[in-house]
Structure 1
Amino acid sequence: MNEKLKHAILARKSVRSYDGKMPSKEQTEQIKAYMADRSNYACPFGSSLRMELLEHGNVGTRNVIKKPPMYVIVIIRNTRESLIDAGYIFERFILFVESLGLNTCYLNSGFQRETVQLAEPLAEDEIMILASPIGFAAEKKSFVEKGSRWFLKAGKRKILDEMFFDHSLGSPVKTPQVREKLEYVRWAPSAVNAQPWRIIFEGEKARFYITTKAKASRRAEYNIHILDIGIALCHYVLAFGHSSFIKEENVPNPEEMNYILTVE
């Protein structure tokens, strides 16, 4: 992982207040080139996903996002595997954008889909799962932004020993080199800062689980916390360099955890 990505992972903050200035022509062209390169859409389950850049569009954020110059929209088919893949692919994109010196903010429930004018309309089985503004942070945060960061405790994360285990729950990872890399996974963003992923190492295998407490809201068509697992997977692959994904059979689920997949 290069130094720009390391910095993007550890320094990134969701930005809701922008100065309204468009990214430079060079930055915009780099973003478009990234989106056009299909190798950037490789993902654990091979789901089909597309992104659209709205250079002057609006996504109806009810004034939560201030003066954003452009947005990106993520469109998927509504399956569990697609949710994981969306988190994985979009987080790599977000980190790329951040490495260009731009700012972003994950939006799921925070935008009005009916206001979005896509170049290619949604198919019957497609949904707009995510959006993000892209631009430069304003010098001053809005009152709404300050309140959101305080409520979500956005600058805090669980400690390593609550999330990552060696062979079994309650047995923390002790190897210093592994713990150093896990810091990059620990800082992965998640909906309402829930951090629902857990990893149990078994030799060279890293088994990913989701906590059973991370449930869908009553009105939601999907569990957004499944997408969080894809974000954590992205950080793991970048930190460790392992990208062989396996769905093992008969993997036991520890208490209050459900198995997702294995990376080796």
Structure 2
Amino acid sequence: MEYEKLATELIKERKSTRTFDTNDIDKDTLKRLNDYIAEVNNETTKIKARFIIISNKDSNITGKTSEKLGTYGVISGANLFIVGILDKDDKRALEFGYWFEKIILFATDIGLKTCWLGGTFNKSNFEQKSNLLENEFIPIISPVGIKKEKSRVLEVTMRALVGANKRKAWSELFFNEDMSLPLTETSAGKYNIPLEMVRLGPSASNKQPWRVIKEKGLYHFFLCRTKGYGVVDFDMQKNDLGIAKCHFELATKELGLDGNWDIIEGITVPNDWEYVYTWISKE
């Protein structure tokens, strides 16, 4: 098992946290997180990506919180950040999101809180602290630590504005044969749990851009872009599909559902969706 808890439990448990206790993570827990990140870095050979942890504290003996790492007031009290680094020539945001979510779920597994951040941080400050190579940039970061017992009013307000606790209904996300017929939890059979884990996934501004069409033993994943939600240096919504892929795959492994990912030529793409990949069930 990749985690001590069930992956499906971790996916349900994980919630974005923006207000952190300023106390440090204990050394053993931090070592476990660093060790896992090192394992991920060894696995990400297909993309030019790496992940590190950086501190928001001065290196001097006082241990005072540094002001160098800015999140524009979105995050409070965090001492540590998981930083995702990608080569500027590598556009595979989907795989990047897949691996980052594995780290997020591991942090959840060892009792830590996180929050995906793709735009609300001072990139130049984080880049300086991360010692980037010449052709690298930082598309995503996440604070990591212990949640403060009482959330700030700003955090509560932000969650309400993006509808952080709301998820689209099955009938809006999953379909049977084509998009005219919604896929129900009953008709999904053994795959109702993996699909539910997709539905529960975090996404940029909670846009939930994933769509799935079941065609016999095939599960075709599509990206339904939000109009006006542009792609600048990094495709955040492709990143979201990477999170969906991670959740679906972890759930199928947990349930013992055999299958594999592939990209199939000639898939009919509804409306203005974008075809991304297919899970081929061997059940």
How does the TM-score come out when normalised to structure 1? 0.90
Q: Is the 8 A contact 2:94 2:241 kept in 1?
A: yes
Deviation at 1:214?
5.2
- Whole-Å separation in 2 of the counterparts to 1:252 and 1:79: 30
In the TM superposition, residue 212 of structure 1 has moved relative to its aligned partner by: 3.6
Equivalent in 102, 105, 115 of residue 115 of structure 2: 105
1:89 aligned to which of 99, 109, 116: 99
Residues 216, 175 of structure 1: alpha-carbon distance in 2 compared, 3 angstrom cutoff: closer
One-letter identity of the residue aligned with 1:145: E
Aligned mates of 2:218, 2:195 — CA distance in 1: 14
Compute the displacement of 1:75 (Å).
Answer: 0.7
Gaps of at least 5 residues in structure 2 are 58-67
Which residue of 1 is the match for residue 17 of structure 2?
A: 15
Paired residues of 1:212 and 1:257 also in contact (CA < 8 A): yes
Q: What are structure 1's unaligned runs of at least 5 residues?
A: none
CA distance in 2, matches of 1:263, 1:40: 25
The offset of 1:147, in angstroms, is 1.1
**Contact residue 10 and residue 105 of structure 2 kept, 8 A:** yes
Q: Which residue of 1 aligns with 2:34?
A: 32
CA offsets 1:172-231 (integer angstroms, 9 cap, x no match): 33134322332111100000100001011222222110114355437x333311111101
| Aligned equivalent of 1:263 | 279
Match of 1:248 among 264, 277, 283: 264
Q: What's 1:237 paired with?
A: 249
Check if 1:207 corresponds to 2:223.
no
Name the aligned partner's letter for residue 95 of structure 2: D
Q: Which has the larger Rg?
A: 2
- Rate the CA distance shift 1:14–1:33 in 2: closer, same or farther, 3 A: same
Q: How far apart are 1:146 and its partner, in Å?
A: 1.0
TM-score (norm 2): 0.84
Is the CA contact 1:40–1:89 (under 8 Å) kept in the aligned structure 2?
no
Q: SS in structure 2 opposite 1:121?
A: coil
- 1:53 is matched with which residue? 53
- The aligned residue for residue 235 of structure 2 is 223
Q: Secondary structure at 1:244's aligned position in 2? A: strand
Q: 1:179 corresponds to which residue?
A: 192
* Selected match of 1:188 from 201, 210, 214: 201
CA RMSD of aligned residues (A): 2.2
Q: Secondary structure at the match of 2:192?
A: helix
CA positional deviation for 1:26: 1.2
Provide Cα deviations, 1:120-146, integer angstroms capped at 9, x if missing partner: 42332x220100001011111112111
